[in-house]
Amino acid sequence: MLSSFVLISPHLFHVAGGRDVWYSDANSVIAAPTEKDVQEKVNEVQKMQWDRHDIREGALHLRAAFWDVLNKEVQQIFSLHGVNLDAAAYAKEHFVHKMGL
């Protein structure tokens, strides 16, 4: 998704987390939920040059950062319960990404 098109989405006020963590100036334009602002942003997007490679690399970098955080948390749980496994190695061996990443 991030490497093939740009998402224009209503701005989510007072909401943190979820999909919005993937949005950046490099891959999206956020429009206020008004017809006028959406039209202005569509016009803006049509004039922009997008770098698909940079968009994809940014998403993969963010994905890796999330995996690092998850693996550290799982490692703490393993350690707390005396499980003698490396969480990152375990995840790498057992997790199958649906897109083969």
Q: How far apart are CA 100 and CA 92, in angstroms?
A: 12
Number of domains composing the chain: 2
39 and 72 together in one domain: no
If pLDDT is split at 50, 70 and 90, which confidence band does 84 have?
Answer: very high
55 and 82 together in one domain: yes
Q: How far apart are CA 83 and CA 36, in angstroms?
A: 56
For residue range 9-65, list pLDDT tens digits in order.
Answer: 555 544 566 777 887 888 888 787 788 988 888 888 888 888 889 988 998 999 999
59 and 89 together in one domain: yes
3-state secondary structure of 85: coil
32 and 60 together in one domain: no
42 and 57 together in one domain: no
Report yes or no: 8 and 27 within 8 Å, Cβ to Cβ.
no
> Which carries the bigger pLDDT value, residue 16 or residue 92?
92
Domain of 85, in residue numbers? 51-101
55 and 43 together in one domain: no
40 and 7 together in one domain: yes
33 and 64 together in one domain: no
Helix 52-80 vs helix 87-94: angle between axes, to the nearest 10 degrees?
120
pLDDT, residue 70, reads 97
> Which carries the bigger pLDDT value, residue 63 or residue 78?
78
70 and 96 together in one domain: yes
